[in-house]
Amino acid sequence: MELISHKTELFICPECKSRKIIQDNELVCSECGMVIDDIFVDSSYIISARNTSQLRNSQYVQPGNRIEKSNCLGSFIGYRNPNILLDSKNIPLPPKNQELYKRLKNKYDVRFRIKNFETESRILKILQDISQILKLNQNVTKNAAYFYKKIRKNEKSIKNHVSLIAFCIFYSIRIENRNAPITLLEIARVFQSLGHYITPQLILKNGSFYKKHIKCAAIPKKSEDYLERLISSIINHPDLVSRIKRKTNLKSLEQYKSLLHSVTLELLIKLSERFRGGRNPFILMGALIYCADRLLAKRISAKAVLTQKIASEATGIAEYSIRDHYVTLLKSLFIVDYLS
């Protein structure tokens, strides 16, 4: 068995010229949080045919019981429905050992491993499915499982375990201080795609009931946390390239992205906490990008590239929400002042 070590490679971010690091199989900027690309890393271990004589059974042991998975301590015996049980060198076991290990395998069946823990096993399986779809890192997944088990231990009765794990996922994401956080609506939509009736209101309702059992304080998210994510979503809209060519004299999509990013950041800095108070930071960020596009068009003497429909389709924010924030707040602060 040959151990292959991987060192963290350092690169330069094309957006802010800072260092990039490898985290959770993604190339992420250490400053702005922009996800550059996916990284596919080879397995840490390679089993070579040259050293089979040195193999030991202890090398083939499944990890023990982990907080985010309902595994049992020890290893699985053979495959699911084996006719003959083999050892680590693929040699059949003696007949007496065959009979012994088959009895142990039947006794150690899945039904016995999750006996009296069926609900917890089902919820942790849902957690694993949600984590894979949303690409949550291991810290978020483990915290969500820990919160679920802690609340279940302290609460006498829980009406809806699925909505409880949804709240635990949402709260663990809020605790994790990372850029581009996942919104409450996105979590609810993923649960709905798996056939569970979960709404944002139901998640918040669970939060009001069970938050008392969690000692960790969630970090309030700001509009700045959603800047890179929403800019990338808008840039990837299929109609954007053609509209840039028709509406502006800009040479490339990257040039438009750079200008839109800088103008949005400029407006974000000027927008004080007094004007942000009580507003959804995710929706406010989407409206700010729409406003920045219109301000950019006036500065370069061109027409606006974004429409409310395109901004809504790219960001997932309702058109009326973007329009309401733009008309009632942003237009009077930035567009009218610029024209005057």
Segment 135-169, tens digit of pLDDT: 888 888 989 999 999 999 888 888 899 999 999 99
d(CA 217, CA 317): 27
Task: For 95-130, write each residue's pLDDT tens digit.
Answer: 888 888 877 777 666 555 656 667 888 888 899 999
Distance separating alpha carbons of residues 186 and 197, to the nearest angstrom: 13
Counting residues of the chain whose pLDDT is more than 90, the rounded percentage is 32
Which pLDDT score is estimated for 238? 92
CB neighbour list of residue 258: distance below 8 Å, 6 or more residues apart = none
Do residues 66 and 138 make contact, with C-beta atoms less than 8 angstroms apart?
no
pLDDT tens for 22-60 read 666 677 777 777 777 766 544 444 444 444 454 444 444
Locate the domains of the chain by residue range: 1-54, 55-113, 118-213, 223-339
Euclidean distance between the first and the last CA atom of the chain, given in angstroms as a whole number: 72
CATH code given to domain 118-213: 1.10.472.10
| Statement: residue 73 has pLDDT above 80 | no
Domains 118-213 and 223-339 share a fold: yes
Question: Is it the case that residue 339 has pLDDT exceeding 80?
Answer: no
Q: What is the pLDDT of residues 179-230, one digit of tens each?
A: 567 888 899 999 999 999 999 999 988 888 888 888 777 777 888 888 888 9
- How many CB atoms within 10 Å of residue 97? 12
Query: pLDDT at position 289, please?
Result: 94
Please, what is the average pLDDT of the chain?
79
In terms of DSSP H, where are the helices of 79-212? Answer: 95-107, 110-113, 118-134, 138-154, 161-175, 184-193, 200-210
- C-alpha angle with apex 135: 130 to 140, nearest 5 degrees? 75
* Token reading at 62: 């499944």
Span 270-294, mean pLDDT? Answer: 89
Q: Is the pLDDT of residue 67 over 50?
A: yes
pLDDT value at residue 60: 41
Q: What is the CATH number of domain 223-339?
A: 1.10.472.10
- How many beta carbons lie within 10 A of that of residue 298, not counting itself? 13
What pLDDT score was predicted for residue 112? 57
Altogether, the residues listed in the chain come to a count of 340
